[in-house]
Amino acid sequence: MKIAICILLAISLTGCSQSEYQTRSLPLLGTIINCKTFDSRDSKEAIDQAIDRMKALEDVFDRFRPTSEVRRVNKVAGERAFDVTKDFFQLLDQSLYLSAVTGGAFDVTVGPLVEAWGFYSKKKFELPSKKVISRALEAVGYRHVILDPEILSVKFDVHGVELDFNAIAKGYIVDEAARVLKKNGVEVALIDAGGDVLCIGRRNDKEWILGIRHPINKKRVIARMSLSGGAAATSGGYENYITIDGKKFPHILDPRTGYPPEHNVLSATVVCKSLAMADALATALFVMEPDEGLDLIESLDNIDCVIIAIENDNIKFFISEGIKDSVEIL
């Protein structure tokens, strides 16, 4: 069973003309990955290797596979240090860094809360009691994770901690696919991961044009922006939500409170070089207040954002300085 809280990613590619290319698609972590190269030479072997790399990493990070590495770590690391692979250690280390940078708005240990809300089981949704949330929060917190870089081991300092890479693993896997493509000489490519995008190079020496979907009317594009290369990811709760007693709750939880955020943010888009980082930060910005999220992004180097919020029934944009000139509001 695929994860029940797949983050809705609202970036769609626009403005691409037809040309010769190699393309492959595969289902991965609850979405479809489309990998396309625009090199004039044959790049089939490069894409095949990138696909193989992505499949191998899914075995590492898919918590719904009984034999996955993350399942084994969650089962054992509360009792003793557990040796992990380089990929696992590297992504967990990055996740802990981003958890700290965002003050826990993104937190890789959110698993117990996701379980408490029933997102994993897809059973009939009921509002968890304060006691259930409080108990889950005891095992949530990136500081509970202890890493040993010398032997690549992971340990939890309390029982019940569960790592959940849902908001970052797909981005890491796509980053790795891009690395494989570049290693094999691919100079121009696009990887679309269910709305997350990673662009390699410039096609016909032109920038990529990305359309940000309207957070209320999904059939519309609300803004366009140009991208010379790099990654973009969007998080929002306007499509993927649950309804309990007539009230809608977005699928993204605030790890600091145990509840879905109650604020005016509709969606958050992050642009940077790494799709893993863009994915995790977009999740954090959806949880944070818009001014707080914008301040965070402005404090980071080479990372930008477009936060869409609603104030007094009007759409309001919070755009970081680095991309203000490249964003066109429609």
- Whether residue 313 is found in the same domain as residue 216: yes
Domain assignment present for residue 20? The answer is yes
Segment holding 215, helix H or strand E:
none
- Residues facing 22 on adjacent strands: 37
Residue 126: domain span: 60-156
Among 100-109, 233-242, 284-293, name the one with the lowest average pLDDT.
233-242
Residue 2 lies in a domain: no
The CA-atom distances, in angstroms, between 249 and each of 108, 137, 260, 264, 265 are: 21, 19, 6, 13, 13
Claim to verify: residue 216 and residue 152 sit in the same structural domain: no
Which carries the bigger pLDDT value, residue 115 or residue 3? 115
What percent of the chain lies above the pLDDT cut of 70?
87
Domain boundary among 119, 134, 156: 156
196 and 73 inside one domain = no
Residues 50 and 176 in one domain: yes
Name the domain count of the chain.
Answer: 2
**Quick one: DSSP state of residue 30?**
T
- Given pLDDT bands bounded at 50, 70 and 90, which one contains residue 13? low
DSSP-assigned letter for residue 142: G
The three-state secondary structure class of 140 is: coil
Residue 311 φ/ψ, nearest 5 degrees:
-135, 120
Across the beta sheet with 189-193, what order do the strands follow?
22-28, 31-37, 189-193, 196-200, 230-236, 265-272, 304-311, 314-319
46 and 132 part of one domain: no
Which residue is associated with the tokens 């003050």? 103
Q: Count CB neighbours of 134 within 10 A.
A: 12
Residue 85: CB atoms within 10 A of its CB come to 12
Q: Which of 130, 156, 182 is the last residue of a domain?
A: 156
Q: What is the CATH number of the domain that holds 107?
A: 1.10.3980.10
Residue among 183, 178, 171, 167 nearest 255 (CA) = 167
- The pLDDT tens digits of the residues spanning 285-328 come to 999 999 999 999 999 999 999 999 988 888 999 999 999 988 88
Q: Point out the least confidently predicted range of 6-15, 183-192, 198-207, 278-287.
A: 6-15
Asked if residue 304 and residue 185 are part of one domain, the reply reads yes
pLDDT at 16 over 60: no
182 and 107 fall within a common domain: no
- Distant-in-sequence, close-in-space partners of 70: CB < 8 Å, separation ≥ 6: 60, 61, 62, 63, 88, 163, 165
Query: Could you tell me if 252 and 192 lie in one domain?
Result: yes
- For residue range 54-84, what is the model confidence (pLDDT) as tens digits? 999 999 999 889 999 999 999 999 999 999 9
Q: What's the CA gap between 215 and 196, in Å, rounded?
A: 15
